Structure formats: structure tokens, C-alpha cells
Amino acid sequence: MFEDMARNLTDWLSGKGDESTVVISSRVRLARNVAGCVFPGAAGTDTRKKIIEYFESAVSRSDMLSRGTIVRSSDLSPLDRDFLVERHLMSPNFVAGDSSRALYIGEDERVSIMVNEEDHLRIQALAPGRDSDAPYKVAGEFDNEIGSYLEFDYDSDFGFLTACPTNVGTGMRASVLIHLPGLVITKEIDRVITKITKMGVAVRGFYGEGTDVLGNLFQVSNQNTLGVSEEDTMKLVMNVTDSIIKEEVHARELMMDEALEQIEDKIWRAYGILKFARVLTSEEVMNLLSALRLGVAMKIIDFVDIALINEILLLSQPAHLQKYYEEEMSSDRRDAVRAEMVREKLK
Amino acid sequence: MFEDMARNLTDWLSGKGDESTVVISSRVRLARNVAGCVFPGAAGTDTRKKIIEYFESAVSRSDMLSRGTIVRSSDLSPLDRDFLVERHLMSPNFVAGDSSRALYIGEDERVSIMVNEEDHLRIQALAPGRDSDAPYKVAGEFDNEIGSYLEFDYDSDFGFLTACPTNVGTGMRASVLIHLPGLVITKEIDRVITKITKMGVAVRGFYGEGTDVLGNLFQVSNQNTLGVSEEDTMKLVMNVTDSIIKEEVHARELMMDEALEQIEDKIWRAYGILKFARVLTSEEVMNLLSALRLGVAMKIIDFVDIALINEILLLSQPAHLQKYYEEEMSSDRRDAVRAEMVREKLK
């Protein structure tokens, strides 16, 4: 499954959108639960199957929803699942051995809905660049559309009820994926993270909670969902994002002024290695692409575009690489094929 | 001085000669002292000046010798001296603040003669590749020619007398400069060095005694000069060289069979860094060129030749770089200009 999908760059990695030299993508995720049904973690198989059926029925009855596709987790191989996680269409947690989970993928992959992850529904909308509007609007449209078929668990005091108390209220998590090589290289990143954490946002590595920071990619998202409005949450995350962008741009200017040669060297070496290496791990590619992305943003390298960097980043990941080449590969084989793919793309 | 010389590749680095995929060059050095004169280390300025005069007089009277050039050490700037050391025309020890040393440089730099180094005369002949014949013959011809004008300190029991007892006898040191990346990478180098050391040869780094091994370049030379003939010394060094070549070639074949991908990766990465880096130290260039040289020898890279690698190696050295660009440079500036030179040469 998904071999064709692997051949296309997903919209949120198109390199378009505002502030694309710093912000990769913006995302809004809404947690929703069906009223009268036990949350997935505590629910039996019957309840969970019922939730999928409710959702499928809503999809089939809605013109808007029926434009997307539903896949049952039981139809997904481990490789398929890894592929969808790499594509940010589902969370790493969304791994199941039974049929009681499902994933909805909307047109252009701008929306995905996980059924029976931590909550009954997790509606997620993605857009490239810094986007305070589209993901929020799109997620809201899907929320409304589904809400016209299903009744959500909603408390007039608290707001939306969710499996984890940290999501109660708006059930909304707004986040941006942001590239901060300047702050990492100038060693300002810890100061900035400390500062913005105090403003009510969380900062994580590329793949969400608890993961290492690879490729200087950080995910910034709101901490609170209770007693705040959706609009204020969006405003907070975007304000913090703008403040981080400012700090990052400043750090890059500082490097230009004070260590241009060293930065140019780092960037060109990364390019040279990507262009000629015969063995590349996905971690190394992420770190080399980080330097290349910085080089493009700083106009040191003018013949590579952000979309190509994003494409290589996506295809470098293990499941994408295997789907792209339609071959199951050992880790060693992947490292060689990955290097081949990178060379091909940079030709 | 020497700016023009810096623009030309010295003959011993031409990449020609036998076994040039392993052996860079072959060298014969003869230590000679003028009879009746105190050795330079113990001699006063007057005696040392007299030695230079004797030598200059011999040069001026001989058709063969007068084809070369003599420079007085007092006419050499520190940069000139470094330049000549890098070119292997004089030893690192041959540094002096007074006028009592001189250097003779023969046509094509195939011969050089240090006057008043450790011995009155040190005649050195160099040739590219594994050469059991030319340097030995050329050094001998100069030895004979000079000997027809000057009487050497010679004892019928011991042979030639020299300042250091380790040179007494033939006064001859035959050596090869040999590139052993295969033995280093496969970790066989210590075993091979132990083995050949027992055969009566010494192994040193590129720049002679006590220096670190850079770029996997080793210098192999005879240990003994007493009670052996010149012919046997040459035979020993060449036999040992052939045995090392065999081991190195075997190690390369082993790598080809067992770790081709890793070796190719190492070689191509080195090429990528050399081709794109903006800052390069001379040490790093030596190590990267070692990988490139191996790549050319193993036919992994077929568009670069050994002469070009040697040229980059030579020009990468600090004094050569400054002579080549006719500019005195700080260490930081050199690292940037060196990277520029390497990129230019690899275009």
C-alpha cells in the first residue's frame, strides 16, 4: 500500500507558505469523543468497533467527508504504519494489532483523522509554512461536519471531554514545526526554549514527545486547553512562533556577520557529503539537510529549493525509502539506497 | 624567492614511476664530510664557511655541478626555509640564523645537497614511484663528481666517517615514501611495521623522525650503514618495500571484497568535502587526499590523477600556499585560501 503516495510530496512539505525559511509547517489537532461511549483506552473491542462504524457512517453520508479515504489498522502492515507516521498522518502511538482502529486521510493529505487513538477522534489539519489560518479553519470544518452526524462529549463548564485531562477544554493542540539551526549553533536555543516555555508552550523534537532533536527541527505547541478559547490558543502559538522566528533570524544574521566562513564551510561540506556519500543513515541525512536548508535560507546555496530538501527529508525515512523503491530493505541496504536516492535527487 | 618554483610540481611528485599506486617516491641520501675538517656541529663559523667555499669552488669548476643553483641560508627567509622543507629539498633541521649553511638544488630538483647540516655534505636524490635505480645512480654520480674535487673523510675499516655514528660506513640512507591506507584501515599496520622493523628498516611519518603519521604516508629507510654495502642496502630497502606493497595490495583487495561500500563511502565523502569545503587545514587535506589517492588507486575514482593529488598535497602545505599565492597569510586565512585552491584544482 501507499507506493504511489510515496512518489508524491505531501502538501505540508511543499516548502510554500509564509516564513518558509524557518517554519516548515503548521498544524491543528482536535481531540473529540463520541458522547455516551467509553474512551478508547478503557473501551472493549465492541465499543471501539462501534466508534469506527459511527465514523464510517458519517463519512459515507457526508459529501465533504466522503472525498477522503478510510483505512482500517488491521489492513496496515508494520511498514504501512511507519510510512503513515513518517508522513505525520498518524501518531507513533497509533499502532494496533487489532481492527479497532482506523485512519481517515483527506484530499491532498491536508487532513487526517485517527479513530480510536487516545480519543475516539483526533482530527488533524496541516499546512506548509507559518499558517495561522488554514489548518485551524480546515480542522474546524471537519469538526463541524462530523459534529453534525455524531454528538461529541461536551461539558458546558469544561468544554470538550478527552481521555487525557491535558486536552480537556478546547481539545485543541496547535503547533508549528520550526527549523532553528541558528539558535542551536549560537547556543541560544536553551535560553529561547526556557523563555517560551514560560509563555505556555511546549517544545519537542521532530517526532513529538520525548524524541531527540534531529536536524535542528523543533515542534512548538500550546500547553493549555482548559479555560482558553481556540482563537487565543492560535494567537498564543503564532505569537510565540513569531518571537522564535525573530530570534532565529537574528542568530543567522549574527553568524553571517561573525562566522560567515565557518557557516559557509559547514553548509558546503554538508552539500558535498550529501552529493557524494555512498552510505547515509536517516539521522545523518536529517542533520546534513539541516545545514543545507540553512544554506538555502541564507542564500549561500541558490540552486536547491526548500521543496527538494523536504522531499529528500521525507524519502530518507526508512518506510518512505522502502515504499519509494518498492523493496523491503535491511538497515544496511537502506543506508546505501538512501545515499543513492539523495545523490539522484541532488543531480 | 621560489614563487615560480611553487607553480611547478616537483619531479618526485609527478605520480610517475613504478608502483605509483602505493609508492610516492624513492630517495637516496649520502652523508659526506671533507677530510681534515671538524664536523659542522663542533666546527666554528670559519671552518663552516670554508666548507661552503670548498663546495662552491667544486660546483663552479664542474660542468655537471654548475647546472644547479646554490642558495646561502642567510638569504633564506623563514618562509623560504619552510618552503624548501615542504618540498623535501632540505631537512627540518636545516634551519640557521647565520651564513654558514648552504643548499644546492640540482636541475629538476632531482638532487639537492645540504652543506653544513649534521655533516658537511648531505647529497640527496629523489625519484617518483618505486625506483631502485635512478636515485642511487644520481646520488652516486654527484658523490663521485664532488669527490673528484674534495677529499672525503674515509676510513678503510669503517668506510665514510660521519657526525652521527648511525651513518658511519656507507653514509647512505635509502628510503621510500609509501601510502598505506589499506593497512591502516584494516588495522594491520602495526603488525607490518613490527615485522619489517625486525628486517633492519625504520618506519617514520611523512616528515621524518618523530612526526605523526598524516595522510597514511610512511617513510621506510635502512637502519644500518656499517658493515654493509650500498648495493645490499638498496636491495634490503627495495625488498622490504616490495613486501609492504604486497601487504598493502592485499589489504586493499580485502577491503574491496568485504567492505566495498564503506570504502567507497569514505572515498567519495573525502572527494565531496575537498570539492566543497570553505575551510581546510593542511592536516585535514592530507587525510582527505589519502582517501582520494586510495580511490584513484582502487579505480573507484577515475577522473582524478595521482599527479593532481600530489600537486594539491604539495600546495596545501603552509609555505607552498603562501608562495603560490604570493601572499603572507595568517593560519585562518590559509585555511580559507587552501580550500579555495583545492576547489580550483578539482574543478
The answer to which of A15-24, A98-107, A326-335, B232-241 has the lowest mean pLDDT is A98-107
Give how far Cα B3 sits from Cα of B69, B83, B108, Å. 16, 10, 15
Residues of B in contact with A279 (CB under 8 A): 261-262, 265
Which is it for the CA torsion B187, B192, B198, B204, positive or negative? negative
What is the rounded distance in angstroms from the CA atom of residue A73 to the CA atom of residue A82? 12
Amino acid in position B282: S
Mean pLDDT of A312-319: 94
- Here the CATH number for the domain that contains residue A157 is 3.30.590.10
In this prediction, residues A178-192 reach a mean pLDDT of 94
Rounded CA separation A182/B284 (Å): 26
Pick among B262, B263, B266, B276 to test the A interface (most A CBs inside 10 A)? B276
Tell me: pLDDT of A296 over 90.
yes
DSSP bridge partners of A126: A27
The pLDDT of residue B231 is above 80: yes
Supply B239's cell numbers.
625488498
Please report where in the chains the cell 636515485 appears, as a residue: B135
User: In angstroms, rounded to a whole number, what is the distance separating the alpha carbons of residues B285 and B277?
Assistant: 10
Kindly state the cell numbers that stand for B317.
Answer: 602545505
B292, B274 contact by CB (below 8 A): yes
A81 contacts A95 by C-beta, under 8 angstroms: yes
pLDDT of residue A34: 94
Range of the domain at B172: 2-253
At position B308, the amino acid (one-letter code) is L
Q: Is A288's pLDDT higher than 70?
A: yes
Shared domain check, B54 and B121: yes
Residue A224 sits in the same domain as residue A168: yes
Specify the pLDDT at position B15: 86
pLDDT of residue B94: 79
Instruction: Count how many residues are written for chain A.
Output: 347
Pull the grid cell for residue B21. 599506486
CA A59 to each of CA A115, A190, A345: distance values in angstroms, whole numbers, following the listed order: 12, 45, 38
Q: Do A278 and B271 touch (CB under 8 A)?
A: no
Give dist(CA A283, CA A217) in Å, integer.
12
Question: What ipTM was estimated for this complex?
Answer: 0.88
Residue B207 pLDDT:
57
Q: From the CA of A41, how many Å to the nearest CA of chain B?
A: 46
User: With 60 as the cut, is the pLDDT of residue A209 above it?
Assistant: no
Domain match, B14 and B72 both: yes
Return left, alpha or beta for B12; rule: phi > 0 is left, psi -120 to 50 is alpha, else beta. alpha
Q: B321 or B3: which carries more pLDDT confidence?
A: B321
Residues A166 and A106 in one domain: yes
Closest listed residue to residue B40, CA positions, set B113, B103, B100, B105: B100
C-alpha cell at B5: 618554483
Render B51-73 in DSSP notation, one character per residue: HHHHHHHHHHH-TTGGGSEEEEG
Residue B206 has pLDDT above 80, yes or no: no
Phi and psi, residue B106, nearest 5°: -80, 175
Burial B294-310 (b: 16+ CB within 10 A, else e): bbbbbebbeebebebbb
Can you list the positions of beta strands (E) in A67-106?
A: 69-72, 102-105
**What per-residue confidence (pLDDT) applies to A211?**
53
Q: Is B265 on the interface with A (CB under 8 A)?
A: yes
> Across chain A, what does the average pLDDT equal?
92
**Cell numbers at residue A341, please?**
536516492
pLDDT at B150 over 70: yes
Q: What average pLDDT does range A38-44 have in this prediction? A: 88
pLDDT of residue B218: 94
A336 vs B: CB within 8 A: yes
pTM of the model: 0.91
DSSP string, B87-154: TTSS-TT---SSSS-EEEE-GGGSEEEEESSSSSEEEEEEEESB-SSHHHHHHHHHHHHHHTTS-B-E
Same domain, B246 and B269: no
Which of A227, A253, A279 lies at the terminal end of a domain, its last residue? A253
Provide, as residue numbers in chain B, all residues whose Cβ is less than 8 Å from the Cβ of A265: 277-279, 339
Q: Nearest chain B Cα to A275, which residue?
A: B272
**Beta strand pairing status for B23-32 and A217-222?**
unpaired
Confidence class for position A141, pLDDT limits 50, 70, 90: very high
Over residues B144-152, the mean pLDDT reads 95
Mean pLDDT, rounded, for B55-60 = 95
Over residues A123-148, mean pLDDT: 96
Instruction: Suggest the residue from A263, A264, A267, A268 to mutate for an interface test with chain B (most B CBs closer than 10 A).
Output: A268
Alpha-carbon gap, residue B126 to A310, rounded angstroms: 54
Label residue B178 by pLDDT band (50, 70, 90): very high
pLDDT at A195: 92
* Count of structural domains within chain B: 2
pLDDT at A318 over 90: yes
Q: Are residues B119 and B241 in the same domain?
A: yes
Residue B209: phi and psi, rounded to 5, are -55, 135
Å between B342 CA and nearest CA of chain A: 13
Last residue of a domain, one of B253, B272, B294: B253
Candidate from A43-47, A258-262, A275-279 with smallest mean pLDDT: A43-47
B131 vs A45: which has the higher pLDDT: B131
CA gap B114, B72 in Å, rounded: 10
The span from the CA of B255 to the CA of B272, in Å, is: 21
Decide if pLDDT at B182 tops 90: yes
Nearest to B276 among A261, A269, A279 (CB): A269
Q: Return the SS3 of B12.
A: helix
- Locate B259 and state its grid cell: 567492505
Query: Within an 8 Å CB–CB cutoff, is residue A285 touching chain B?
Result: no
Q: Average of pLDDT values for B97-108?
A: 83
CA A127 from centroid of its chain's CA atoms:
10
Distance CA B341, CA B328 (A): 15
Could you give the CA distance from residue B39 to residue A322 in angstroms, rounded to a whole number?
74
Average pLDDT over residues A38-50: 89
What is the bridge-based pairing of β-strands B217-222 and B201-205?
antiparallel
Q: Which three cell numbers stand for residue B326?
A: 604570493
The mean per-residue pLDDT over the stretch A147-156 comes to 94
Higher pLDDT, B205 or B199: B199
| pLDDT greater than 70 at residue A37 | yes
**Residues A112, A140 within the same domain:** yes
Residue type, A346: L
pLDDT score, position A204:
85
CB pairs under 8 A between A and B: 52
Mean pLDDT of B178-201: 93
- pLDDT tier for residue B98 given thresholds of 50, 70 and 90: low
| SS3 label, residue A95 | coil
B278–A contact, CB cutoff 8 A? yes
Sequence-separated (6 or more) residues with CB below 8 Å from residue A219 = A175, A176, A177, A178, A203, A204, A205, A206, A208
- Burial group, residue B43, by CB count within 10 angstroms (0-12, 13-18, 19+): middle
Identity at A297, one-letter amino acid code: A
Cell of B167: 651513518
Q: What per-residue confidence (pLDDT) applies to A219? A: 93
Task: Give me the amino acid identity at A316.
Answer: S
* Rounded Cα distance, B205 and B191, in Å: 16
Per-residue pLDDT of A51-63, as tens digits, reads 999 999 999 999 9
- If asked whether residues B234 and B275 sit together in one domain, one would say no
Residue that the C-alpha cell 506548509 belongs to = A128
pLDDT tens track for B127-137:
999 999 999 99
A256 touches chain B (CB under 8 A): no
User: Based on the domain organization, do A148 and A44 belong to the same domain?
Assistant: yes
- In this predicted structure, the answer to whether residue B212 has a pLDDT above a threshold of 80 is no
pLDDT at A98: 60
One domain, residues B173 and B288: no
Given the C-alpha cell 552510505, which residue does it identify?
A279
Those residues with Cβ within 8 angstroms of residue A232's Cβ, 6 or more apart along the chain or in another chain:
none
My answer on whether B196 and B274 are in the same domain is no
pLDDT(A96) > 70: no
- Shared domain for A152 and A34, answered yes or no, is yes
| pLDDT grade for B286, boundaries at 50, 70 and 90 | very high
Decide if A34 contacts A153 (C-beta within 8 A). yes
Alpha-carbon gap, residue A5 to B59, rounded angstroms: 81
Which residue among B212, B236, B253 closes a domain?
B253
Q: How confident is the model at residue B96, as a pLDDT?
A: 58
